Structure 1
Amino acid sequence: MITVEKAFERIVMNAKPLTTERVAVAEASGRVLAAPLAARRSQPGADLSAMDGYAVRSADLTGDMRELSVVRESAAGAPYEHECKAGQAVRIFTGAVVPKGADQVVIQENVEARDGRIFTREAAEPHKNIRAMGIDFLEKQVVLDAGTFLTPKSLGLAASAGHSHLMVHRAPRVAILATGDELADPAKASFAPHETVNSTAPQLMALFRDAGADCSYIGQAGDSLKALQDTIKKAKGADLLITLGGASVGDKDLMQQALAQEGMRLDFWKVAMRPGKPLIFGQIGDMRVLGLPGNPVSAFVCALLFARPLIDQLMGRPAPLPQGVPLPLAADMPANGLRQHYVRARLIGVPGSRALDPAVDQDSSLLTVLAQSDGLIIRAPEAPAAKAGDFVPFLPF
């Protein structure tokens, strides 16, 4: 049995990012940028008006009432190509290029216009109501760093910088296999008392897809070596195989044996943690294998600590071991045992004065407790008893 830190090092830190591919900006959400992205243009590419009004020379705005003659106009996409000279004003619209010579825009509400002239009491204020060239970013400036997890807001920036396609790391292909004669599909019309609904597979598929993985459910295998081996074969071509259940030491826990017969090189089995002790990690060819416990909470905690960071690492986004943030306890906690304990807890109180309320029942089958929790309190091996008000590390999810 190894520590959580050692397990994380072997599972996650030893993994290398997958190969890269070029994808359209509109298809890149949820992927990780493989190289720094430099702008192909400045934004904006010229001084632009921030308001509808008149472009003027600030030097002309002297005295009480200023009178200027209006010469043509500058609109977005149709700039005025000539210079704005002394005593002149150019009608201008939001987003239009500020003409040469002009260095201020007077908004139309502060102008009286008649007979081709404007009258204003606006004071001189150079650069007022003007968006300077390059105020957002400059040509050749790096606008997104390598390792950026791409979201709609970052994709808008990439497109604005002149990029229609991006070089990203390939999304990991994750195959999920559930095992157990007792499992029932949630779509069943009714359930027998001996059945357990397969809740873990859809839960983890959602977790991994949110991380950017390409997930597929390859099926449920019964508790026999042949059924397990036949289903494991369906994972061919995946980067990561996640198995659910059959990882412990019972007579029906055949997952490790089935994986071995399919060529898995075992790295380790069992981690000094709870929930989640019976964790299998190995490799079949180039495919990594994570055998998670069958209890749904144990599987979720292991997926949160190891599988999701592994997906991040494969996508090119370095993933440190989740350490949590220090927050105060709302209730006393007893001393911990020999295994690192991940305790489900709720955040209570008001923003700025939050505290952690650990669930009374930590049974690893209770999905209601998991659903009502905001994260996990991390209790180190042999941690002493803690009092209400003591700060403990908290891992939100």
Structure 2
Amino acid sequence: MIDVKTARDLVLLHSAKPSEVLEVIIKDALDFVLAEDVISKIEMPPYRQSAMDGYAINGFDDTPYTVVGEIKAGDDDNPNLNIGDAVRIFTGAPVPDTANTVIMQEKVIVHGSKIILEESIQPNKNIRPKGEQIKIGDLALAKGTTIKGAHVGFLASLGITKIQVYKKPSIAIVVTGNELVNPGDVLPYGKVYESNGSMLTAVLSELGYKNTSVVTVEDDYEKTKKALNDVIQNYDVVIVTGGVSVGDYDFVGRALKDIGVEEIFYKVKQKPGKPLFFGKKDQVSIFGLPGNPAAALSCFYVYVYPLLKKSEGACNTSFPNVLMPLLTDYTVKGDRAQFLKARMQNDGVEILDGQSSAMIRAFGDANALVFLPENTKQVHKGQNVKTILLSVK
């Protein structure tokens, strides 16, 4: 059995490198990873720009100014202002080259075509300089950036319509177990509704991974072997839930070995998710997650997600984490490292009830995992703990 750090390091070490590059239009680029640096071909803003509604003036003192025109956003006027001249100007409009400041309208008294200033002149106040945000030839976005909505807006503002991104991995989810019944069917005694497949598909979609498929297989060695062999031939990443332990009807480990999957590790000193498997066959990564839903989801967040991000060339491969003060005391059972469903609030982080590996309900209220290292016995209210934020938005 290995520790959490060793397991995480091995996952990243054996992650497949990104290979195929796609060209996508920026509106379809959300959650893809940039395959090359994006360099700006324009300056932003492309001209001196007013940051306020007000008056652009060629100022020299506080005596009345004469309003000689008006410039609104989108106009291409660049009038020559003499000393003592002003133009009415609106937010986003180009500031004349001969104007040296913009006075916000609330600081001006208007008398017909004359204005009197109620504040002293400060050179270049309320003027966004040309190229203030970015200049021609500057790096706009770096290779390895995961594209978010704000990035799309930024790229559009630079006139960029298409970018090069890495293709996302295809993912197969193999769900095992004789006890499983599809939601909506009659639930016989001794059966449970299957939830791991739909849960992982939804979480993957939420994180930007749409090319997924779910395969359900009974606890039968030959059927398990065939199902695993089929998906390994056709997908980049395989996630198996259930059947990875050592019970009489847990066939996943033996089937993986028999079809030539190299075991990188099996079992991690953690709770939940001790019977975690990770292996490789050629360039395909295979995870064996516990069948209990909460354990499966915890392992997905901690191990599978980083591999997916690494395999598509992302600079940041894990969820962000911070130190947060605990809102209550917590006593640890056992000596394994703990990943605890938690909710982060403004003043700290709360460890939630329902920590059993079979209890998925608490994950609906969770927005974080609290990580407690091996051999932690108790943590106290106010103590800072590592808090993994389950969001990349």
TM-score in terms of structure 2 length: 0.86
Contact 2:175–2:216 (CA<8 Å) still a contact in 1?
A: yes
Equivalent in 346, 353, 360 of residue 351 of structure 1: 346
Equivalent in 66, 74, 81 of residue 68 of structure 1: 66
Q: Which residue of 1 aligns with 2:6?
A: 6
Contact 2:320–2:389 (CA<8 Å) still a contact in 1?
A: no
Q: Which moved more, 1:235-244 or 1:362-371?
A: 362-371
Specify whether residues 320 and 13 from structure 1 end up closer, same or farther in structure 2 by C-alpha distance, changes over 3 A only: farther
Specify whether residues 132 and 388 from structure 1 end up closer, same or farther in structure 2 by C-alpha distance, changes over 3 A only: closer
Q: Which moved more, 1:262-271 or 1:174-183?
A: 262-271
Query: What is the rounded CA distance, in whole Å, between the counterparts of 1:322 and 1:161 in structure 2?
Result: 29
For 1:43, give the aligned amino acid. M
For 2:95, give the aligned amino acid. V
Q: Secondary structure at the match of 2:248?
A: coil
Contact 1:38–1:161 (CA<8 Å) still a contact in 2?
A: no
1:242: how far off? 0.5
Q: Which moved more, 1:238-247 or 1:367-376?
A: 367-376
Query: What is the rounded CA distance, in whole Å, between the counterparts of 2:384 and 2:91 in structure 1?
Result: 53
Equivalent in 278, 299, 314 of residue 311 of structure 2: 314
Q: Deviations over 1:51-78 (max 9, x none)?
A: 444432112x443xx25262x5434333
1:1-397 alignment to 2 at 5 Å? 1-19=1-19, 20-59=21-60, 61-63=61-63, 66-68=64-66, 70=68, 72-107=69-104, 110=108, 112=110, 114=112, 117-121=113-117, 123-188=120-185, 190-232=186-228, 233-317=230-314, 318-319=316-317, 325=323, 327-328=325-326, 330-334=328-332, 336-337=334-335, 339-345=336-342, 351-352=346-347, 354=348, 356-357=350-351, 359=353, 362-386=355-379, 390-397=383-390
Q: Deviations over 1:114-172 (max 9, x none)?
A: 4xx43434553332332221222222222323332211112111221232112222212
| Structure 2 residues not aligned, in runs of 5+ | none
Contact 2:168–2:209 (CA<8 Å) still a contact in 1?
A: yes
Specify whether residues 193 and 44 from structure 1 end up closer, same or farther in structure 2 by C-alpha distance, changes over 3 A only: same
Deviating above 6 A after TM superposition, structure 1's stretches of 4 or more consecutive aligned residues are 321-324
Contact 1:74–1:96 (CA<8 Å) still a contact in 2?
A: yes
1:362: how far off? 3.9
Q: Deviations over 1:326-372 (max 9, x none)?
A: 533623514633x323344556xx733x354463x643212234444
Contact 1:335–1:386 (CA<8 Å) still a contact in 2?
A: no
Specify whether residues 92 and 241 from structure 1 end up closer, same or farther in structure 2 by C-alpha distance, changes over 3 A only: same
For 1:163, give the aligned amino acid. I
Q: Deviations over 1:164-210 (max 9, x none)?
A: 1122222121111111121112233x312222111112222222233
For 1:126, give the aligned amino acid. P
Q: Secondary structure at the match of 2:204?
A: helix
Contact 2:67–2:115 (CA<8 Å) still a contact in 1?
A: no
Query: What is the rounded CA distance, in whole Å, between the counterparts of 1:355 and 1:234 in structure 2?
Result: 40
Specify whether residues 49 and 197 from structure 1 end up closer, same or farther in structure 2 by C-alpha distance, changes over 3 A only: same
1:248: how far off? 0.8
Indicate the structure (1 or 2) with the bigger Cα radius of gyration: 1
Specify whether residues 44 and 333 from structure 1 end up closer, same or farther in structure 2 by C-alpha distance, changes over 3 A only: same
Q: Deviations over 1:69-103 (max 9, x none)?
A: 62x54343332244223344344443222223122
Specify whether residues 104 and 205 from structure 1 end up closer, same or farther in structure 2 by C-alpha distance, changes over 3 A only: same
Contact 2:241–2:290 (CA<8 Å) still a contact in 1?
A: yes
TM-score in terms of structure 1 length: 0.85
Contact 1:325–1:393 (CA<8 Å) still a contact in 2?
A: yes
Contact 2:169–2:311 (CA<8 Å) still a contact in 1?
A: yes
Query: What is the rounded CA distance, in whole Å, between the counterparts of 2:380 and 2:72 in structure 1?
Result: 67
Q: Secondary structure at the match of 1:278?
A: coil
Contact 2:371–2:386 (CA<8 Å) still a contact in 1?
A: yes
For 2:80, give the aligned amino acid. E
1:247: how far off? 0.6
1:321: how far off? 9.2
Contact 1:340–1:380 (CA<8 Å) still a contact in 2?
A: yes
Contact 2:244–2:288 (CA<8 Å) still a contact in 1?
A: yes
Query: What is the rounded CA distance, in whole Å, between the counterparts of 2:268 and 2:236 in structure 1?
Result: 23
Query: What is the rounded CA distance, in whole Å, between the counterparts of 1:209 and 1:52 in structure 2?
Result: 43
1:303: how far off? 0.9
Kindly report the root-mean-square deviation, in angstroms, between the aligned alpha carbons of the 2 structures. Answer: 2.9
